[in-house]
């Protein structure tokens, strides 16, 4: 595996690959890699001949300076983990000056999807995501890009953006990878204290209980209320808990076959998200 940190070296590399008839898969990440990320890389098996993992903690998608400052980082450990998996050709880890030259003034905005759920909670977040993902897709010239369903709203928004901008790349969605107790793997989990880690299991547990209650005929409003209280009792501050249509993320009913339950909630200053389909 080659570590590339400049745009020019990346361009040279992918230009050579395309000339040789290779197809390229990319897994965009913010590093501090875990099994969820490795599952995204594995999902590219048999679909492409070259694989790139990008690691870039994108400053413009953070609406909270402390969240950016405290975001877990560790490029050496990330490189060692990817090296061990043996199926990554390039780890692309640009620094901020490679991505945002002085005077950088452009934003990609996906209206509608960017202002609900996490977008309402984190103003500007999805403009930052859409902008950096556009740049990473153009820089890597990827044919396929893998994204996790753990960040389901991000996945919907990126699909919309790729379609709207005619970007020549297809999206590979990957189901959420979970710990044995159900907690979705997430880089921010590394910031949880042992006590918070125990509390955190309430997140998937409450979602599952909520889904069961809705399937048994409980009204959406009442069921969400019970679930929200369970989370508060476990020590969470709940930012949103909502049932949305799986394609457009509009509010929906339990009878909708694409209905998904979405949650964002914090333990201390650590904000976690999760989602599960009803069906």
Ligand X SMILES: Nc1ncnc2c1ncn2[C@@H]1O[C@H](COP(=O)(O)OP(=O)(O)OP(=O)(O)O)[C@@H](O)[C@H]1O
Residues 154-173 that bind ligand PAF (CB under 6 A): 154
Interaction of residue 132 with ligand PAF, rule CB under 6 A: yes
Interaction of residue 150 with ligand X, rule CB under 6 A: yes
Interaction of residue 25 with ligand PAF, rule CB under 6 A: no
At its nearest, how many Å lie between ligand X and the CB of residue 43?
Answer: 9
Q: Residue 51 or residue 213: which is nearer to ligand PAF going by CB?
A: 51
Interaction of residue 129 with ligand PAF, rule CB under 6 A: yes
Task: With beta carbons less than 8 A apart as the criterion, state whether 223 and 210 touch.
Answer: yes
Task: With beta carbons less than 8 A apart as the criterion, state whether 264 and 63 touch.
Answer: no
Q: Residue 89 or residue 151: which is nearer to ligand PAF going by CB?
A: 151
Q: Residue 37 or residue 122: which is nearer to ligand X going by CB?
A: 37
Residues 6+ apart with CB under 8 A from 149: 155, 173, 174, 175, 176, 275
Interaction of residue 228 with ligand BAL, rule CB under 6 A: no
Interaction of residue 25 with ligand X, rule CB under 6 A: no
Interaction of residue 61 with ligand BAL, rule CB under 6 A: yes
What are the phi and psi torsion angles at 96 (to 5°)? -60, -30
- 3-class DSSP assignment, residue 7: helix
Q: Which residue has the tokens 């949880």?
A: 192
Interaction of residue 137 with ligand PAF, rule CB under 6 A: no
At its nearest, how many Å lie between ligand X and the CB of residue 106?
Answer: 22
CA nearest to 36, candidates 162, 151, 141, 171: 151
Residue 104 to residue 32: CA distance in whole angstroms: 27
Among 119, 128, 148, 204, binds ligand X (CB under 6 A): 148
Among 79, 99, 133, 213, binds ligand PAF (CB under 6 A): 133
At its nearest, how many Å lie between ligand X and the CB of residue 52?
Answer: 13
At its nearest, how many Å lie between ligand X and the CB of residue 36?
Answer: 3
Classify each residue of 175-198 as buried b or exposed e, where b means 16 or more C-beta atoms within 10 Å of its C-beta.
ebbebeebbbbbbbbebbeeebbe
Residues 247-276 that bind ligand PAF (CB under 6 A): none
| 170 is an annotated ligand-binding site residue | no
Task: Compute CA distances 185 → 188, 200, 201, 245, 272, whole Å.
Answer: 9, 11, 11, 24, 10
Helix ranges, 43-124 (H): 65-70, 75-85, 96-99, 118-121
CA nearest to 272, candidates 174, 196, 211: 196
What are the phi and psi torsion angles at 77 (to 5°)? -65, -40
Interaction of residue 174 with ligand PAF, rule CB under 6 A: no
| 111 is an annotated ligand-binding site residue | no
Residue nearest to ligand X according to CB distances in the complex: 148
Chain positions contacting ligand BAL, by CB under 6 A:
30, 61, 151
Chain positions contacting ligand X, by CB under 6 A:
29-30, 36-37, 39-40, 147-148, 150-151, 174, 176-177, 184-188
């Amino acid at each position: 595996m080659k570590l590339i940190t400049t745009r020019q070296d990346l361009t040279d590399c992918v230009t050579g690959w395309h000339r040789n008839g290779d197809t390229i898969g990319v897994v965009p990440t913010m590093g501090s890699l875990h099994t969820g990320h490795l599952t995204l890389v594995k999902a590219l098996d048999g679909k492409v001949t070259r694989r790139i993992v990008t690691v870039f903690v994108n400053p413009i998608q953070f609406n909270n300076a402390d969240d950016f400052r405290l975001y877990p980082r560790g490029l050496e450990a990330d490189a060692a983990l990817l090296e061990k998996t043996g199926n990554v050709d390039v780890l692309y880890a640009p620094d901020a000056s490679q991505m945002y030259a002085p005077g950088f003034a452009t934003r990609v905005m996906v209206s509608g999807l960017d202002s609900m759920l996490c977008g309402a909670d984190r103003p500007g977040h999805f403009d930052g995501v859409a902008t950096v993902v556009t740049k990473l897709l153009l820089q890597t010239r990827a044919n396929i890009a893998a994204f996790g369903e753990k960040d389901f709203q991000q996945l919907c928004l990126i699909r919309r953006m790729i379609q709207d901008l005619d970007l020549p790349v297809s999206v590979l969605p990957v189901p959420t990878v979970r710990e044995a107790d159900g907690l979705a793997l997430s880089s921010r989990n590394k910031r949880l204290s042992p006590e918070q880690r125990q509390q955190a299991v309430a997140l998937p547990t409450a979602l599952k209980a909520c889904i069961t209650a809705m399937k048994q005929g409980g009204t959406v409003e009442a069921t969400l209320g019970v679930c929200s209280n369970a989370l508060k009792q476990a020590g969470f501050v709940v930012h949103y808990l909502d049932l949305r249509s799986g394609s457009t993320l509009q509010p929906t009913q339990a009878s909708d076959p694409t209905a998904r339950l979405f949650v964002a909630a914090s333990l201390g200053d650590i904000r976690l998200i999760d989602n599960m389909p009803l069906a």
